[in-house]
Structure 1
Amino acid sequence: MTAHAPDLWPQVEEAATRVDKLVATLPEPAARTDEQRAEIAAAKNTSRALRTSYLDRYIDSVYRRLTEDTAGLRIEELLDAVAAQFPGLVPSPEHMAADRGRRQADKEGWEIDQGVFLRAVLRSPHAGPHLLDAMLRPTDRARNLLPEFTRTGVLRTHSVLLERRDGTAYLTMCRDDCLNAEDEQQVDDMETAVDLALLDPGVHVAVLRGGEMTHPRYRGKRVFSAGINLKRLHAGDISLTGFLLRRETGYIRKMIAGLLVDHDRSWQSPTVEKPWIAAVDTFAIGGGMQLLLACDLVVAASDAYLTLPAAREGIVPGAGNFRLGRHTGPRISRQVILGGRRLWAAEPDARHLIDEVVEPGELDAAVERGAQRLKSPAVVANRHMLNAAEEPPEEFRRYIAEFALQQALRLYGEDVITKVGRFAGHTA
Structure 2
Amino acid sequence: MNKYIQSYIDESVGIIQLNRPKVLNALNRKMVEEIVGQLEMFDRDPSVRVIVLRGSEQAFAAGADIDEMIEETPLTLELANPFAEWDKISLIKKPILAAVNGFALGGGFELALHCDLIIAADDARFGFPEVKLGVMPGAGGTQFLTKALGTKKALEWIWLGEQMSASVAFENGIINRIVARELVVEETMRLAHQLAKQPPISIRMIKEAVYTALDESLKEGKTLERKNFYLTFASEDQKEGMQAFSEKRPPSFKGV
- SS in structure 2 opposite 1:192? helix
Change (3 A) 1:187 1:379: same
2:19 to 174, 183, 188: 174
Indicate whether 1:354 and 2:175 are aligned: yes
Shift of 1:343: 0.8
SS of the residue corresponding to residue 346 of structure 1 reads helix
Q: Counterpart in 2 of 1:280?
A: 100
2: CA distance, partners of 1:359 / 1:303? 8
Distance 2:169 2:38 in 1: 33
Structure 1 residue aligned with 2:213: 389
The question of whether the paired residues in 2 share the 8 Å contact of 1:277 and 1:296 is answered with yes
1:194 corresponding residue in structure 2: 39
Does 2:157 align with 1:323? no
Asked whether the equivalents of residues 58 and 102 of structure 2 are also in contact (C-alpha less than 8 Å), the reply is yes
1:24-423 matches, within 5 Å, as 156-211=1-56, 221-236=57-72, 240=77, 245-246=81-82, 248-250=83-85, 252-258=86-92, 273-318=93-138, 319-347=140-168, 350-375=171-196, 376-377=198-199, 378-391=202-215
Counterpart in 1 of 2:228?
Answer: none
Whether the 8 Å CA contact 2:120–2:177 is kept in 1: the answer is yes
**Cα distance per residue 1:151-194 (max 9 Å; x no partner):** xxxxx511111111111110011011211111122122222212
Distance 1:242 1:230 in 2: 19
Q: TM-score, normalised by structure 2?
A: 0.75
Q: Which has the higher strand share?
A: 2
> Which runs of 5 or more residues in structure 2 are unaligned?
217-256
Structure 1 contact 256–387 (Cα < 8 Å) conserved = no
Return closer, same or farther for 1:222/1:203 CA change in 2, 3 Å cut-off: farther
Give the count of matched residue pairs.
211
Give the 3 Å change call, closer, same or farther, for CA 201–184 of structure 1 in structure 2: same
Is contact 2:12–2:193 with CA below 8 Å preserved after alignment? Answer: no
Q: Residue type of the partner of 2:149?
A: T
- 1:348/1:368 Cα in 2 relative to 1: closer, same or farther (>3 Å)? closer
Superposition deviation, residue 310 in structure 1? 2.4
Deviation of 1:275 after TM superposition, in Å, equals 0.6
Secondary structure of 1:290's counterpart equals helix
Is the Cα–Cα contact under 8 Å of residues 309 and 336 in structure 1 kept in the other structure? Answer: no
Can you list the C-alpha shifts for 1:304-340, whole angstroms capped at 9, x where unaligned?
Answer: 1100112112223121112211111222211121111
Q: Which residue number corresponds to residue 425 of structure 1? A: none
Change (3 A) 1:206 1:385: same
Query: 1:317 and 1:202, CA in 2 relative to 1: closer, same or farther beyond 3 A?
Result: same
**Contact 1:168 1:371 (8 Å CA) reproduced:** yes
> 1:278·1:298 contact (CA, 8 Å) conserved in 2?
yes
Q: Which residue type is aligned with residue 385 of structure 1?
A: A
RMSD: 2.2
Shift of 1:365: 2.2
Task: Give the whole-Å Cα distance in 2 for the aligned partners of 1:242 and 1:287.
Answer: 20
| Distance of 2:128 and 2:172 partners within structure 1 | 16
Q: 8 Å contact 2:5–2:35 — kept in the other structure? A: yes
CA distance in 1, matches of 2:14, 2:183: 19
Unaligned runs of 5+ in 1: 1-155, 212-220, 259-272, 393-428
Residue 147 of structure 2 aligns with an amino acid whose one-letter code is R
Letter in 2 for 1:323: F
The 3-state SS of whatever aligns with 1:374 is helix
Q: Which amino acid aligns with 1:278?
A: A
Distance 1:348 1:206 in 2: 22
- Report the more deviating stretch, 340-349 or 176-185: 340-349
What is the aligned-residue identity percentage?
Answer: 26
User: Does the 8 A contact of 1:346 with 1:357 survive in 2?
Assistant: yes
1:253 partner amino acid: D
- How far, CA to CA, are the matches of 1:323 and 1:291 in structure 2? 11
